Structure 1
Amino acid sequence: MTEAVISKEEIMAVFPTVQKTVADALGCDVEDIEIDVSLIEGLDAESIDFLDLIFRLERAFKVKVPRGKIIEDVRGDMSVEDFEQNGLLTEKGLARLREYLSEIPDDRFKAGMRVDAIARLYTPETFCKLVIRAQRAQAAG
């Protein structure tokens, strides 16, 4: 997976809007939204909140984020079989996920991780990077 690096400056440029959007979507204070907090484990987000959050980010940044975009981007050109087997990430799939979610500490990635548990890793920074990728894709036409 060869992806253009997203700089800390780019992330910090969109973070205030992502931070406010996350707070609005989850009904909490903006101050509670730290860039590296787990949305599920730290802020009690649920899967339905992610749909709302994506919708709000699309409106705020005037971009389009297809559903399932993170997993699709992580998998890239890998076959489904190389990425996961029986709902569990393969070693290659886990390595790809670790590379894509570089903002997440290494100890959060476990061998035998379930694909449906990936969302437990998401942080506001994950969504900052998602917005930046969508902006880049839109600019590229």
Structure 2
Amino acid sequence: MRLPEISKEEILEVYPKVAETMADALGCDVEQVTLTVPIIEGLDAESIDFLDIVFRLERAFKVKIPRGKIVEEARGDLPEAEFEKNGMVTEVGLQRLRDYLTEVPAERIRPPLKAADIPRLFTPETFCKVVVRAQRAAQAGGGAAPVDQRAMGRG
């Protein structure tokens, strides 16, 4: 399953509001929320902050963002057992993450990577792409149901 590409223009269109929303959620200056800063290491976010960020993005953009969507879409049609084994992302899973999280330098997506640590890879650009995909789904009339919390590293 190959998802449609998201252009830099689409990312830059939503970025100012994403950055403002993230800064509010994390209590930091909006200038710190660059497209490429790792959210956990660079902005001192904790996993619980992702719930707040997603909730605020849903309100700001009037979209529905299913929990766990990032990992679910990265995994695609790959069975979970092939994506991760014993809590560790497999080589095939790492490649899926590299292909999906194109905004993350490939050298950051390397073994050993715990499935629970996948959110450490996320950047504001990751969430810009999530918002663009949610907007596309809303325009297409696709409703979104919540998914497994583990997929966002919360389980």
* Structure-1-length-normalised TM-score: 0.97
How far off is 1:109 after superposition? 0.9
Partner of 1:121: 121
Partner of 2:3: 3
Question: Aligned equivalents of 1:43 and 1:79: distance in 2?
Answer: 32
Partner of 1:84: 84
Q: How does 1:87-102 map to 2 (within 5 A)?
A: 87-102=87-102
Q: Tell which deviates more after alignment, 111-120 or 54-63.
A: 111-120
Q: How does 1:44-83 map to 2 (within 5 A)?
A: 44-83=44-83
Gaps of 5+ in 1: none
* Structure 2 counterpart of 1:54, one-letter code: V
Sequence identity percentage = 62
Backbone CA RMSD of aligned residues? 0.8
Question: Aligned equivalents of 2:97 and 2:110: distance in 1?
Answer: 11
Deviations, residues 84-114 of structure 1 (Å, cap 9, x unaligned): 1001111111100111100001110112311
Gaps of 5+ in 2: 142-155
Question: Aligned equivalents of 2:96 and 2:7: distance in 1?
Answer: 19
Q: Tell which deviates more after alignment, 108-117 or 37-46.
A: 108-117
Partner of 1:135: 135
Question: Aligned equivalents of 1:30 and 1:123: distance in 2?
Answer: 14
Q: Tell which deviates more after alignment, 36-45 or 67-76.
A: 67-76
Q: Secondary structure at the residue paired with 2:24?
A: helix
Question: Aligned equivalents of 1:41 and 1:65: distance in 2?
Answer: 23
Q: Secondary structure at the residue paired with 2:51?
A: helix
**Which consecutive segments of 4 or more residues in structure 1 shift more than 3 A?**
none
* Structure 1 counterpart of 2:47, one-letter code: S
How far off is 1:72 after superposition? 1.1
Partner of 2:147: none
Aligned residues: 141
Q: Secondary structure at the residue paired with 1:82?
A: helix
Q: Secondary structure at the residue paired with 2:63?
A: coil
> Is 2:32 the partner of 1:32?
yes
* Structure 2 counterpart of 1:32, one-letter code: Q
